[in-house]
A and B are shown apart, each in its own frame.
Chain A
Amino acid sequence: MVMSLLSTLSMGRTGLRVASTGLSVTGHNVTNATTEGYTKRTLSTGTRDPMLRNGMSLGMGVQSTGVQRSAERMVNEQLVDAVGNESRSSTAYETLSAIETYLDEESSSSVANQLDRFFDDLNELASDPGSFSLRDQAVNSAESFSDSVLKLSSELQDSRDAILSELEDTMTEIQQKVNQVAVLNAKMADAGGITGGDYADQAGALVADLAEAVGASAHFDLDGSVTLMLGGHAVVSGAEAREIEVTTDTSGNPKVTLSSDSATINITSMVGGRWGGLMDADDEVAAAQADLETFADTFATDFNATHAAGLDLSGTAGIDFFTFTAGDAANSLAVDASIVADSSLMALGGATGTGAVGDGENLTDLLALEDTDAFSGGTQTPGEFLSSIYRGIGEAIREYELDTDSYGLEMADLQELRDSISAVDLDEEATELLAWQAAYQASARVITTASDLLNELMGVVS
């Protein structure tokens, strides 16, 4: 009998211990309810091994059998991918939207509007080719036009520089997070699963950050450790992390490499997330830059060729109207200084003309350039080609906006699904708290009851 009461006391103690652990797990859940990446824990319990006596099996109380993380690996891995995709498209959308303002669509200083104004002034000049005021006006608008090309080109380059700066500036932080994942993997391995839950959550939060930053994908192992991948290449495997580096290629485009002791791999095209979005935007801007260069070079070359075929007011053959550096026209386009100083050098007269003030034969040829299909393989006028640059950026923004909406929905769905599995619900935890409190009180009652009986028994014996 004494032995049995002592067993009951012991049994009550196991109840207190488990209830105390349960309260601790609930407290952990409640205090981490808003922690990013935290996964709800559940204490599982089981009966202790029974005591066999006199042919009977006597229960020995309760024990904790483990703390489970309520996580679904597949959902978490899908969510990581969705975060990377959403981040990539939203970054490209936001970056290009900011760059779009440089096109100055509503401003009279836009390249497209300045080109129109230049030709309008040339058309007006055609009414009186000998007029110095109209010649000066046309030269002024030509200067404004070339300035607008330089301004846009400079702004596009500034945008690309800013993109590269952001990639370089965030490289250290990203590498630190990559290294931290490897450290956490090592800790999880060392802990042998005992404290793996918290490390796994910390690693999960870092993975989410890295998915957003560089589009990393992840494979979560059963022990909670993470294998971090970028485009099929392991960035973190176990306790080993590889170096991610941002440089530029020979053309000045951003280049991302992954290096280990043995090799360096170019993973530029495989990077996603914010970096991928920035590089997508950079690609669009680079394409616009190249188109602007084509536009400036072709237009100035054609204009100069036609201008050179005419005669100026003194009957001399025309000089180059525009000056520019070959291969860098968009950054160097300018009206020839001597023409700016003396608009009589505008060669508006016909080559076979007499140099008369009203000879606008060559001006007619210059005006025809506005409607000449000299671009895109002879299919577009200068204005149409310029519009295609504007349209290209506009279409890219719309595309990334739609992608952002689509990936955003997918991410929200997966986040909801992940939360439905892993998030802490305060109502549930309050209920758990009450349950563990009751369990604790009940176990305490078992102990006090057994203690009372033991005291009673001791009184009888004494």
Chain B
Amino acid sequence: MSIIRTTHFSRLSMLAGENSKLSSRLSKASEVAATGLSYSKPSDDPGRVGVIHSVREQVADQEVWKDNASWAENILVLADESLSGMTDVMATVKELAVQMSSDHYEAWGMTDAVEQATSALESMLAYANTNLAGRHVFAGASYDSQAFDDTGVYQGDTIEPEIPVGDDNSVLGGFDGSRMLQGTTDVFKVVNDLITALGSGDSDNVVDLLDDIDDAQDQLISAQAEVGAEMLKVEDAAELASSLSSNLSQTLSRLTEADQVESYAELMKLQTAYEAALQVTAASNVGNLFNKI
């Protein structure tokens, strides 16, 4: 469209319109440069709203996973230490049983062994009832109370609480003590049986229990292995959450933050253009022929 005639006022009106547009762009560029954000509202980049929301959600999730993993790790470390303690106690029980399986010991020796075995049972139960801030690690989901009573009867729950440590990834945050310590072999029953056998004063009865003691040791080793596997899982999850948190935060920055150099250059460019436009406007308002006649 060719404009064949321009007037003073239409020229000023056109310049005012152009200045207004430039001013608007300058305002936006100033906001980006000042906040450092290229995305602050959906209309800034509608196509990426879903991605940005999703990444934000994932960044927040990773913080929860890390916290949960840290909590789970504390529980698992305690479980591992308890099982380790029980394994040590069971080793002394085994030594005692091997000793007492010999015919050399008199009745007084057996009485002393009963005391040692009883003490071992108490230690094992203490380990089995270990808790972290009131949370009993071998009581299953009923972790607010002791897992075992004084005789080794399970008081807990068969549900094992799971702690989410990632997307579709959770670790055990407690164990069913009846499965873990009394599953294939009831470790407390074995020690109780040994106490009974020692109390009978008959070494043959003790000999009959040696295999059971071995099974109890295997049971504890197996439990430790299970806890160890969960610990590895939680360590991996914590590492993954930490790594994802860092990567996702960087991704979020790329999606929402402006390139400082680029935004500053854009601001400078628009400032220069705006100043030039104002000068052009001023220069255009030079008056008209009426000023000359």
Given contacts A116-B60, A401-B43, A425-B7, contact A394 B49 (CB under 8 A): yes
Query: B residues within 8 A CB of A386?
Result: 53
Among B3, B159, B289, the residue within 8 A (CB) of A359 is B159
Q: Tell me which residues from 354 to 398 in chain A have a Cβ below 8 Å from any Cβ of chain B.
A: 354, 356-361, 364, 367, 371, 383-384, 386-388, 390-391, 393-395, 397-398
**What is the minimal beta-carbon distance from B230 to any residue of chain A, in angstroms?**
14
Q: A156 within 8 Å of B by Cβ?
A: no
Q: What 1/0 flags go to A94-134 for Cβ under 8 Å of B?
A: 00110011010110000011001100100110111110000
Chain A residues contacting B56 (CB-CB under 8 Å) are 112-113, 116
B141 CB, min distance to chain A CBs, angstroms: 4
Could you tell me if A426 and B290 are in contact, using CB atoms closer than 8 angstroms?
yes
Residues of B close to A439: CB separation below 8 A: none
CA gap between A417 and B2 in the complex, in Å:
8
**Which residues of the partner chain B approach A383 to less than 8 Å between Cβ atoms?**
53-54, 57
Is B41 within 8 A of A101, CB to CB?
Answer: yes
Are the CB atoms of A361 and B159 closer together than 8 Å? Answer: yes
What residues on B are CB-neighbors of A112 within 8 Å?
53, 56
Give the distance in Å from the alpha carbon of A353 to the alpha carbon of B141 in the complex: 9
A167-207: which residues lie under 8 A (CB-CB) from chain B? none
Q: Which of A434-456 contact B (CB under 8 A)?
A: 434
Report chain A residues within 8 Å CB of B108: none
Q: How many Å lie between the Cα of A420 and that of B8 in the bound state?
A: 11
Interface of A is mostly: helix
Using known A-B contacts A127-B163, A387-B54, A425-B8, determine if residue A394 contacts B46 with beta carbons closer than 8 Å: yes
**Are A393 and B42 in contact, with the CB atoms below 8 A?**
yes
Q: How large is the interface on A (under 10, 10 to 19, 20 to 34, 35 or more residues)?
A: 35 or more
Set A97, A371, A417: member contacting B3, Cβ < 8 A: A417
- Stretch from B67-75, B84-92, B243-251 that touches the partner: B67-75
Residues of A within 8 Å of B44, CB to CB, are 394
Could you say which residues of chain B place their CB within 8 Å of the CB of A124? Answer: 64, 67-68
B53 touches A390 (CB 8 A): yes
Within 8 A of B (CB), among A229-261: none
Contact across chains for B50 and A388 when beta carbons are under 8 A apart: yes
A356 x B68 contact (CB < 8 A): no
> Counting CB contacts under 8 A, is B94 at the interface?
no
Taken together as a complex, chains A and B put the C-alpha atoms of A105 and B159 apart, in Å, by: 41
Partner of A116, one of B13, B57, B140: B57
A431 within 8 A of B: yes
Closest to B5 in A: A420
Bound form: Cα–Cα A449–B30 in Å: 72
Cβ-based interface call for A421 (8 A): yes
Residues of B contacting A113 in the complex (Cβ-Cβ under 8 angstroms): 56
List chain A positions with a Cβ less than 8 A from chain B: 33-34, 96-97, 100-101, 103, 105-106, 112-113, 116-117, 120, 123-124, 126-130, 349-350, 353-354, 356-361, 364, 367, 371, 383-384, 386-388, 390-391, 393-395, 397-398, 401, 408, 412-413, 415-417, 419-421, 423-428, 430-431, 433-434
What 9 pairs across the A-B complex have the smallest Cβ distances? A394-B42, A430-B289, A394-B46, A419-B10, A356-B141, A358-B141, A397-B43, A425-B7, A358-B161
